[in-house]
Structure 1
Amino acid sequence: MAESATSRVDAELTGLVEDPQEAARLLVRLRRMRNVITLRAAQSPKEFSSILLSLDLTHRYLVLDAPRPRPQAADFRPGTKVYARSHVDGAALIFVAQIDSLIAADDTGDDNLVLDWPTRISHYQKRRDYRVSVPSTVVQTPARLIIDNHAIHARLLDLSTSGVAILLAAESTSIAPDTTVECVLPLPERDLKVAMRVTSVTPTRDGVRIGGELALEDNSARELIQRTVTTLERWWLQHHP
């Protein structure tokens, strides 16, 4: 696969927005729609709400409304990397940025946040719920597909509460779309056995990428995957700004 094609596949898996004009368009729409932003400092589990007040496309910075509930002074200092999550056009929008400075809000005694232009913007417009890529350093055990009572090892590529992508060795090509197989997902908390309906089978230079929809039968399984997605988001935030 050519390098440009590899980049397109990576962008599809992560929702990464690489076009600067598209990134700017999404942020402009976020400001106009005044959608609530869930904000969190990189090293903290505490979440706050804000909105995008303004942005400067020339000097490349954003101004966010004073977070609510009112944060402690140590929560958002200049130089702090923050994770922001909102929605644009009905799809998840996520960006990572660093706080440049604080400016006083009008008559409230609170501080608005001035952010440097985001270093990473993802928009999951093709997902019912966004997926997160799975780093091998976090999930080291292989996934397993159970076929004819035999376990076929695979690499877990990405994950969401509705779907998954795994990578099989090139010789393991007997799986066809629209079939349902049992799979074991090696999540950080514990393994999860679940049925997967295969939706795509795509040869790549590294093997065969299998995309599928998960049949989650109870809330505990869905909550386990949601916790895993949050864990993986935090890992990417801390290691790949």
Structure 2
Amino acid sequence: MPTPGSASAPDTRLEIQQPDAHAQYILREAREIAYVLRQLGARRAIVTAWYGHAGDFLTTGVIDVATDNRNLILDLGRDEAAIAGALAAGRLLCATQLDKVKIQFPLERLERCTHEGFPALRTPLPDILLRLQRREYYRLSAPSLDSLACQIPLRDGHKIHARILDISGGGLAIVAPPGGEDLQVGTIFENCRLELPDSPPLTVSLQVRNVFRMSTRGGSEVLRAGCQLVHLRAAEANLIQRYILKTERERNHYRA
């Protein structure tokens, strides 16, 4: 059994160690990273900070994020051996969860400090942060004020102009006119034009996963299709993730 301050090494368990393989889930902007870290602090999430090569770790938590988004303040903890090991390590790998979503990030240059009169740990804000849904993607319902749309080119040269109902890092649900017989399950549409607010149009590939007819409140019939984003490049994935995170942040602000 592992002793306090040690456990199995996380080499094969932390996706943050392979950022290129999980590029669509990686945040790189300081403002977005700081927002997630502040959520961890507000929820008092327990963070496991791995260091060294023997599976040693420090159990900590986020206390505060500097207003300039440059420094992160962590709970000191009581395990002096683990604290000493973490301070001596050149790099730490941190892992936690927030609403069943994996959160992972590296830390460097950890040091002791005093925060609001209490001993704590200070480190520069991480350059990257992984935000990975455990089982399925978080789906964001399209805000009523945003006009999220998608143009799907057909083989005959025509286009389906669809409205987006919800969107995630893995796909989207759209509503199309009832004449969209080309929306067949399994069909892949290349060069689709995805339009998000405050962003240039994205060119993506969509594979239809499910289709069914539905009636609107006005009594008209439309097609609702669930589509998977396939062959998604890191740049497009980051823009979609940035939009979802920005919208989440704005909704939480208005709810507060």
Instruction: Normalising by structure 2, report the TM-score.
Output: 0.47
Instruction: Normalising by structure 1, report the TM-score.
Output: 0.50
